Amino acid sequence: MSRAYKLEVRTTNTTEEQLNKVLVEEFGWTEAYINDTGFEGEGTLYGGTSEEEAHNDISEAIKKLNPKAKVLTRWTCLEELPHEEYGDNVE
């Protein structure tokens, strides 16, 4: 089972190239925005991986490239977003 997510990553002590290498090349996230302190993109989690487990994997990979990096991730599930509907029944 896969779950689609918007992923936001905020970091310190990293480069755009390091974030691209980890998030796009290694983990396969689709880049929407990237610079030396952040990344935004979309992708999926597979095999029952939790957001926290994925954070740990991403953080570990970034810190292998730069041990001084600090990493914060924000996960937004795109499959069951809350919403409201107004208007006529169109079915």
Domains, the chain, in order of start with CATH, read 2-77 (3.30.70.270)
The model's pTM is 0.84
Angle at 42 between CA 41 and CA 45, to 5 degrees: 130
pLDDT in tens, the chain (91 residues): 568 999 999 999 999 999 999 999 999 999 899 998 999 999 998 778 999 999 999 999 999 999 999 999 999 988 877 778 788 888 7
For residues 36-75, one letter each, b for 16 or more C-beta atoms within 10 angstroms of the residue's C-beta and e for the rest, the string is eeebbbebebeeeeebeebbeebbebbbeeeeebebebee
